[in-house]
Amino acid sequence: MDRLGRYALLLALALAAWGLLAAVVGLRRQRPLAVESARTTAFALLAVVAAANGAMLAALLSDDFTLRYVAQNSSRATPTFFKVLALWSADDGSLLLWNLVLAGYLAAVAFRFRRYRPEALPGALAVMYAVAVFYLLLVSGPSEPFATLAAPPDGRGPTPLLQNHPLMAVHPPFLYLGFVGLTVPFAFAIAGLVSDGLSDRWVALTRRWTLAVWCFLTVGLLLGALWSYSVLGWGGYWAWDPVENAALLPWLVATALLHSVMLQERRGMLAVWNLSLAVGAFALATFGTFLTRGNVLLSVHTFATSSVGPMYLGFLVLVLAGGFGLIATRAWRLRAPGRIDAVLSREASFVGNNLLLLTLTFVVLLGTVFPLAVEATSGRQVTVGGPYFRRTTVPLLLLLLFLAGVGPLLPWRSGSAGRLTRRLRLPLGASAALVLVLAVGGLRNPAAVAAFGLATFVGVANLAEIGAGLRVAVRTGSRRRPAAALGALLRGRRRYGGLLVHVGLALAALAITASSTLARQTDLTLSRGASAGFAGYTLRYEGMRTLRQPQRTVLVTDVGVAKDGRDLGRMSPSLNLYPSASEPIGTPSIRTSPLRDLYASVVGVEQEGERATFRFFLNPGVTWLWVGGAVMVLGGLLAVWPTRRPPAAPRPAVPSARRREPAVVDRG
């Protein structure tokens, strides 16, 4: 298996190098044949990288401990499901998956532009192949996934935290789809910059790609938060861990980009700014993987050491210097004189949106690298943790919420105060009523009151916009009501998708505010049979069971839950003992309900389970974070869904005579 994998990676490297060469030749010498070769090579590359991943998977499933990676990250007792997941549970394997995703995007670009060949295609392919060459060099040199050793009798098994929850099956792949996907807008942006015609068509070409990538990133972040909430047992879902921050940074910039490209599409403004955002998003995604894989940080996410750091740093410098260098030397010619008709306009709100998102990005980046920078320069150790991030980001987030409510109400070009006033009536009224109720009700945290008010404002404003649009469609449409509304929703999917994302954002903001400011917690040590009260619940420790599983021993504690004398059943937080871990790993037990979660984790057991120490949390509203996140992704998907009507993009000049399938157009 190691030979197959290693040869596959070498072949992949050769293919990527060929693709790069062919694309560059095709670009410089205007050779369509070379471009065609570069395009089709992408499919071969995908097949070969998939073979390398398959080889690793086969080795994992067949307990081939001659492979160092398998010996370190799997064991005979590991359940099959987690053997598969071990493919991405450590650095070397996850780089293999990374390469697979990148090759997948290359093939997707090659397939998407099989008939319609934009001018930027050869350049974009060249950039993507160059990135692929870098990542393939990583796995054939500094990181050696197929390194062998004298086979030990059994492997060490995956890191306990990673084999503790099935969410690990989906969280990393989605994040990778997001991170790697940012290569596509980056590649087309660079291609436009280096082409003779100096085109800015990348915005139109990659708009839906960027949107899809944004959806992947959002899902990845949400799954990460859900994993943290349901595995780590500390009652929270976001710890401002450097690696969480590293995943948040590209999301913030991608969100800014999705908003500001609309200014370029509609008004021809900000061409240079958008190029910088595309380069910045890709650079931050690279930086994030550098942080996690380069062993720079010690955090829950840094599971292994590897020597890929310096190469990453070099690549990052190349991306930044190359990208911004090109922008500085060539992009000025793309500058168009910007024009705004009024301050009360959609355009101005997008400027504010970008300002806030970029400041937010800077603050999170600063807080993440600050300890590293201080330690590198002065040798002193400082910590930048949750309290810092909360204090610096909450004001910015509140302002962003305000814009997410007002922005969609403002029309393009110029708004009239009258129209705005009419549209503000309902959302502002609802939000003011809530603020008043909360203030009278005795909530004493001004930031929380403001956040509740603003989130209500955003939700009502955007829902009302959707409602108003659909009502007009129903009134003027000739079809039956639901059909007319659905038709309007699908016709205006870009607009309604965006509004729906804002509705999801409002739900998530409500949930985050409620759970971070109204949560309660307690530590209780209970003897078997004893009970204690917490937040209206009666919690009774019923005893401990021991489950022996092949790969671990699970100590399950049973806690009976009752409220107002009514039995609500049982919660069973557990401690998992893995042979490879010195400390037990907890699994919390969560009773979810729409309004509040009762969350129990067991901290320790004494005297064979006669006494146990628990940590209980009452977390209000967490469910709505997942619901809100799902609505955001739904809105993104609505906006990304292809339109049947082709927009006014130039069709290929010469239609292929041999085309057999009906021409289903899915461009944009």
Partner 1 sequence: MADQAAASRPARAWARPAVGLAVVLLVALGALAAVAARGPAPASTPAERVHAIATGLRCPVCRDLSVADSPAPLAQQMRNQIAEGLAAGKSPEAIRREFVAAYGESVLLVPARRGVGLVAWVAPALLLAGGVLAAVLAVRRWRARGAAPAASSPSAPGTSRADKVLLERALARFEDPP
What residues numbered 572-591 form the site for partner 1, per CB under 8 A?
Answer: 586
Of 7, 18, 234, 641, the residue at the interface with partner 1 (CB under 8 A) is: 234
Of 210, 260, 392, 557, the residue at the interface with partner 1 (CB under 8 A) is: 392
| Least distance CB 237 / partner 1 (angstroms) | 12
| Least distance CB 534 / partner 1 (angstroms) | 12
Contact between 391 and partner 1 by CB under 8 A: the answer reads yes
Instruction: Tell me the backbone φ, ψ of residue 503, rounded to 5 degrees.
Output: -60, -45
Choose between 386 and 477: whose C-beta lies nearer to partner 1: 386
The CA radius of gyration of the chain, in Å to the nearest whole number, is 27
Contact between 476 and partner 1 by CB under 8 A: the answer reads no
Count CB atoms within 10 A of the CB of residue 169. 14
Q: How far apart are CA 623 and CA 591, in angstroms?
A: 11
Choose between 309 and 411: whose C-beta lies nearer to partner 1: 411
- Tallying the residues shown for the chain, one arrives at 668
Considering only the stretches 4-12, 333-341, 461-469, 491-499, report the one whose residues sit in contact with partner 1 under the rule CB under 8 A.
333-341
Considering only the stretches 264-272, 474-482, 501-509, 557-565, report the one whose residues sit in contact with partner 1 under the rule CB under 8 A.
264-272
Contact between 295 and partner 1 by CB under 8 A: the answer reads no
Contact between 288 and partner 1 by CB under 8 A: the answer reads no
294 Cβ contact list (under 8 Å, min separation 6): 306, 308, 309, 310, 312, 313
Handedness of CA 410, 396, 234, 284 (dihedral sign): positive
Contact between 471 and partner 1 by CB under 8 A: the answer reads no
Q: Give the footprint of partner 1 on residues 242-261 (CB under 8 A).
A: 242
| Least distance CB 173 / partner 1 (angstroms) | 23
Q: Give the footprint of partner 1 on residues 200-219 (CB under 8 A).
A: 200
Of 81, 341, 486, 549, the residue at the interface with partner 1 (CB under 8 A) is: 341
Choose between 396 and 634: whose C-beta lies nearer to partner 1: 396
Among 142, 265, 295, 154, smallest CA distance to 200 is for 265
| Least distance CB 140 / partner 1 (angstroms) | 33
Q: How far apart are CA 145 and CA 280, in angstroms?
A: 30
Cβ 174 vs Cβ 212: under 8 Å: no
Q: Give the footprint of partner 1 on residues 603-632 (CB under 8 A).
A: 603-604, 615
Of 142, 322, 386, 609, the residue at the interface with partner 1 (CB under 8 A) is: 386
Considering only the stretches 4-12, 180-188, 407-415, 504-512, report the one whose residues sit in contact with partner 1 under the rule CB under 8 A.
407-415
Instruction: Tell me the backbone φ, ψ of residue 532, rounded to 5 degrees.
Output: -145, 160
Q: C-alpha angle with apex 587: 614 to 225, nearest 5 degrees?
A: 110
Q: Give the footprint of partner 1 on residues 414-453 (CB under 8 A).
A: 414-419, 421-422, 424-425, 428-429, 431-432, 435-436, 438-440, 443-446, 449-450, 453
Contact between 407 and partner 1 by CB under 8 A: the answer reads no
| Least distance CB 586 / partner 1 (angstroms) | 7
Residue 196 amino acid letter: D
| Least distance CB 209 / partner 1 (angstroms) | 21
Q: How far apart are CA 467 and CA 434, in angstroms?
A: 21
Choose between 25 and 331: whose C-beta lies nearer to partner 1: 331
Q: Give the footprint of partner 1 on residues 51-110 (CB under 8 A).
A: none
Among 285, 326, 298, 294, smallest CA distance to 313 is for 294
Cβ 404 vs Cβ 458: under 8 Å: yes
Q: How far apart are CA 602 and CA 611, in angstroms?
A: 11
Longest dimension (CA), the chain: 82
Contact between 118 and partner 1 by CB under 8 A: the answer reads no
Q: How far apart are CA 434 and CA 589, in angstroms?
A: 33
Contact between 647 and partner 1 by CB under 8 A: the answer reads no
Instruction: Tell me the backbone φ, ψ of residue 148, rounded to 5 degrees.
Output: -115, 165
| Least distance CB 656 / partner 1 (angstroms) | 25
Cβ 154 vs Cβ 65: under 8 Å: yes
Q: How far apart are CA 498 and CA 350, in angstroms?
A: 13
Contact between 532 and partner 1 by CB under 8 A: the answer reads no
Q: How far apart are CA 174 and CA 163, in angstroms?
A: 18
Among 347, 353, 350, smallest CA distance to 413 is for 347
DSSP state of 1: -
Of 4, 296, 318, 340, the residue at the interface with partner 1 (CB under 8 A) is: 340
Cβ 243 vs Cβ 300: under 8 Å: yes
Count residues near partner 1 (CB under 8 A). 93
Q: Give the footprint of partner 1 on residues 344-383 (CB under 8 A).
A: 347-348, 351-352, 355, 358-359, 362-363, 366-367, 370-371, 374, 378, 380-383
